[in-house]
Amino acid sequence: MNQTTSAEDTVSEQAPAAPREPVLQACGLVKRYGRVTALAGADLELYPGEILAVIGDNGAGKSSLIKALSGALVPDEGEILVDGVPTRLPTPIAAREAGIETVHQSLAVSPSLDIAANLFLGREPRRPGILGSVFRMLDRPRMRAEAARHLDDLGIMTIQNPNQAVETLSGGQRQAVAVARAAAFGNKVVIMDEPTAALGVRESRAVLDLVLRVRDNGLPVILISHNMPHVFEVADRVHVQRLGRRAAVLDPAGCSMSDAVAVMTGALDPAELPREAHAPGSVG
Amino acid sequence: MTTSPPAPAPAPPVIDDVRPAGPLDRVQRLLHSQATLGPAAVLIVAVTVFAVISPGFLGPTNISLILQQTAVIGTLALGQTLIILTAGIDLSVGSIMVLCSMVMGRLSADLGLPGPLALLAGLVCGTACGLFNGLLVTRVKLPPFIVTLGSLNIFFALNLWISRSETVRGVDMSPVLLWTGRVLEIGGARVTYGSLLMLALLGVLVYALHATRWGRHVYAVGDDREAARLSGIRTDRVLLGVYAAAGLVYAVGAWILIGRIASASPQAGMMDNLDSITAVVLGGTSLFGGRGMIVGTVMGALIVGVCRNGLSLAGVDVLWQNFAVGVLVILAVSLDQWIRKARR
């Protein structure tokens, strides 16, 4: 199944090239909770080097879709392909091992632990040699140094020192720690769930810059957001989720926010939108 | 083209908000960052006060008495700390300890099992009891309070069944089991091996909690279990390990208890449930989980020991000793609530 991808893997300028193989693909995902159908055959494609925004009204199956991709939920039907290979993601750990990192809305940080500890939470390195193998000793100097480097990579060294407890940080700084963790360990995809929802204007700005920087460092991003201006500002393509499936994939340069909202709420049939409103390669 | 309003200057990627801190804020933050500072201060004050009130308080005999009295509670409190760090609570500490001491005592006295084997059986029994609690917490998803309230009675009933409600005398037991009661003279001060064993256990746990992956995960699970799970920590496995380790620690407590009272009694240690929780709370570990230092726990146990001993030296009725310990606990928890507000 797995065709070896062509040498065309380099990040192109701005517009994502259409015929490329998706890094992450969901096909016909179905998830039912009793009589409620959260996902009714949902599809999604994420291409290298892009920011794909996922929008949808409450109950559109947005969070179920994201949970399925991040291993927090096992769909009843359908399959998920990572680099074209069908992959089962039964747990968050499995998703992480497949290179998919998620920044949850709740951030999933441990407030009383310090920044370095949080960056490495769940995969702390041990000392080399007998100290690590027999005495199970953590490699704290390495964690500290690498944490500083990761924060630096994303230009968030304003966070004074990696030994600071996360509970002493502001909301935006905590978000930055969570994003830094995802960017440091994700080697395929970073999923961000409502990263600006709880933030003020200035902090949102900083986090959006961070999202762009993650993409520019080479990692494609799936961005879930309710905030249309934020979506239209950073997204390369906009996936509209409605009634448990994908309603359309829009090109933010070719349509307006009100068009997107209209498709999202069902007020507008995406087929009525002009051709340039649809993202290249997507069927309306 | 019309001139657009000047674009807002690009904000630095992440904004710091620094709030001016008053002196009270500073105390709050200091206590927040240095969890053992509070208990250490209380311990020093208590020792000073009692030294002034009762002249014999600081004598070597009395000090070693306090240490002996603290060894059992302190050990139980070490196990209790592990559980409270994960935002749990263990009401079955006393029962597990008594059950283990009866298993050790009877296997040695009645079945004539060699001392080390009887000891090992007791340690296995404690670990199994802890695993039982842990399985109910992680698999059946019951709240630790309910689980251990139930197992408190189960283990105590087993203890009465095994012991037939009779005390096993020290002379019938292997000397291995009584080793913890033996005294080591260190320059005038008399310390039991039991007290030293407690300190050794403290050392091991400090290392495990602060220098290993497991320790990090214990804190993370107690701090925010869902966040820990999403970070890829196998939270159930961590919890199961914590309960089993605590059970093993209680069994060591049983060994120290046998040495201390030179027998194995089915009625010993019934007050120890709440005293161990008291020691943990006084030691600055938060009942809400994720925050605290195990060193503080031993200080907390010493605070209880010092207060009880000092008050009885001063001729205060036991009734008022309990009263004082109760007041201390409430003060300690209030302080914890206040400190936890210093999140920013």
* Residue whose tokens read 């204007």: A201
Single-letter amino acid code for the residue at A227: N
- Closest by Cβ to A92, choosing from B15, B232, B290: B232
B237 touches A: beta carbon within 8 Å: no
Q: Per residue in A85-103, pLDDT tens?
A: 999 999 888 998 999 999 9
- Cα–Cα distance for residue pair A260/A225, rounded to 1 Å: 13
Least confident of A229-238, B57-66, B103-112, B289-298: B57-66
B interface test, pick of A96, A112, A113, A118 with most B CB neighbours within 10 Å: A112
In chain A, residues with a C-beta closer than 8 Å to the C-beta of B14 are 156, 158-159, 170, 172-173, 176, 203, 206
pLDDT at B12: 43
Q: Per residue in B264-323, pLDDT tens?
A: 999 887 778 888 999 999 998 988 899 889 999 999 999 999 998 999 888 888 888 888
pLDDT at A10: 43
Query: For residue B321, what are the CA distances in angstroms to A244, B103, B294, B325, B343?
Result: 65, 32, 25, 6, 35
Q: Per residue in B126-145, pLDDT tens?
A: 999 999 999 999 999 999 99
Question: Buried b vs exposed e over A268-278: b needs ≥16 C-beta within 10 Å?
Answer: bebeebeeebb
- Cα–Cα distance for residue pair A279/A254, rounded to 1 Å: 8
Report whether pLDDT(B75) > 50: yes
Q: Which percentage of chain B shows pLDDT scores above 90?
A: 59
DSSP B92-127: -HHHHHHHHHHHHHHHHHTS---HHHHHHHHHHHHH
- Closest by Cβ to A117, choosing from B10, B17, B216: B216
Report whether pLDDT(B254) > 70: yes
Edge-to-edge strand ranges of the sheet holding A36-46: A36-46, A24-33, A77-82, A85-86
Counting Cα atoms < 13 Å in the Cβ hemisphere of A196 gives 24
Q: Per residue in A173-201, pLDDT tens?
A: 888 889 889 888 888 999 999 888 878 88
Average pLDDT over residues A2-24: 55
User: Given pLDDT bands bounded at 50, 70 and 90, which one contains residue A212?
Assistant: very high
- Closest by Cβ to A111, choosing from B10, B223, B226: B223
Average pLDDT over residues B232-248: 95
pLDDT at B334: 84
Q: B232, A154: Cβ pair inside 8 Å?
A: no
Report whether pLDDT(A14) > 70: no
Restricting to A residues 103-122, those with a Cβ less than 8 Å away from any Cβ of B are 104, 106-113, 117, 121-122
Please give the structure tokens belonging to residue B6.
């000047």
Given a contact cutoff of 8 angstroms between Cβ atoms, the answer to whether A110 and B231 are in contact is yes
Q: Per residue in B182-238, pLDDT tens?
A: 988 877 778 899 999 999 999 999 999 999 999 999 999 999 998 898 888 999 999
In chain B, residues with a C-beta closer than 8 Å to the C-beta of A126 are 213
Average pLDDT over residues A125-135: 88
Instruction: Report the interhelical angle of B115-138 vs B93-109 (nearest 10°).
Output: 150
pLDDT at A159: 60
Best-predicted range by mean pLDDT (A223-227, B2-6, B74-78)? B74-78
DSSP A65-101: HHHHHTTSS--SEEEEEETTEE----SHHHHHHTTEE
Q: Per residue in B15-61, pLDDT tens?
A: 444 455 677 877 777 777 777 788 888 899 889 999 998 888 988 88
Strands A245-250 and A36-46: unpaired
Q: What number of other Cβ atoms are within 10 A of residue A30's Cβ?
A: 19
Taking CA–CA distances from B13, the nearest residue in chain A reads: A206
Please give the structure tokens belonging to residue A266.
């069902």
Q: A102, B344: Cβ pair inside 8 Å?
A: no
pLDDT at A206: 84
Taking CA–CA distances from A208, the nearest residue in chain B reads: B13
Average pLDDT over residues A137-148: 89
B216 touches A: beta carbon within 8 Å: yes
pLDDT at B41: 85
